[in-house]
């Protein structure tokens, strides 16, 4: 059985993961509106990843005999000054998610909840990939500056991204 403090913290993370999906969906809408379909595709894949993360946390809380409690999701912004600004915001957001995951790991260690500590290790590794992926796009966008040909090439590259579901295990009930 999961204790109340850990359950509450994991429920907060479920909300954050769903907000992340909502933020990336707003970014997909922004990119669609400026006809950058590859950028929009990249964000749609990110939405799927964030929802899979939320489902993994949901399943874990349920598997540990806890109660999932969902709360309101804040509305994300809907406009960005440029594709670079949108990806810079995405990068900043992923850094916040990393900090939240680290806080959960710290709490699990302090509470001597070794099962949750073990479960969270997948997310620790996942956040390294998440930050690197977004940062890679930011660096490319900074490199091309105002070159629209470069923007077109990045759009084509981002159009090729596909969703790969995370491995099963550690929170599979959802």
How large is the average pLDDT for residues 69-90? 97
| Residue 137, pLDDT above cutoff 80 | yes
Short-list 83, 74, 75, CA closest to 30: 83
Q: Taking residues 48-58, what's their average pLDDT? A: 98
Considering the chain, what percentage of its residues have pLDDT values greater than 90? 93
Report CA-CA distances (Å) from 118 to 78, 94, 97, 152, 166.
Answer: 36, 21, 18, 42, 16
Give pLDDT, residue 174.
41
Q: Confirm if 108 and 117 have CB atoms less than 8 A apart.
A: yes
pLDDT digits (tens, 9 = 90+) for 38-47: 999 999 999 9
Contact in structure between 91 and 139 (CB atoms under 8 Å): no
- Is pLDDT at 172 greater than 70 in this prediction? no
């Amino acid at each position: 059985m999961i204790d109340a403090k850990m359950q509450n913290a994991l429920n907060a993370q479920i909300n954050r993961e769903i907000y992340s999906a909502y933020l990336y969906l707003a970014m997909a809408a922004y990119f669609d509106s400026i006809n950058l379909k590859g950028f929009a595709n990249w964000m749609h894949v990110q939405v799927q990843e964030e929802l899979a993360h939320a489902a993994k946390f949901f399943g874990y809380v349920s598997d540990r005999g806890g109660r999932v409690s969902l709360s309101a999701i804040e509305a994300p912004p809907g406009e960005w000054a440029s594709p670079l600004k949108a990806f810079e915001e995405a990068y900043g957001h992923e850094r916040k998610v990393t900090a939240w995951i680290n806080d959960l790991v710290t709490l699990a260690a302090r509470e001597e909840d070794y099962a949750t500590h073990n479960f969270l290790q997948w997310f620790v590794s996942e956040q390294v990939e998440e930050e690197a992926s977004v940062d890679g796009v930011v660096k490319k966008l900074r490199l091309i500056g105002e070159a629209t040909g470069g923007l077109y090439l990045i759009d084509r590259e981002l159009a090729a991204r596909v969703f790969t579901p995370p491995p099963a295990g550690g929170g599979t009930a959802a």
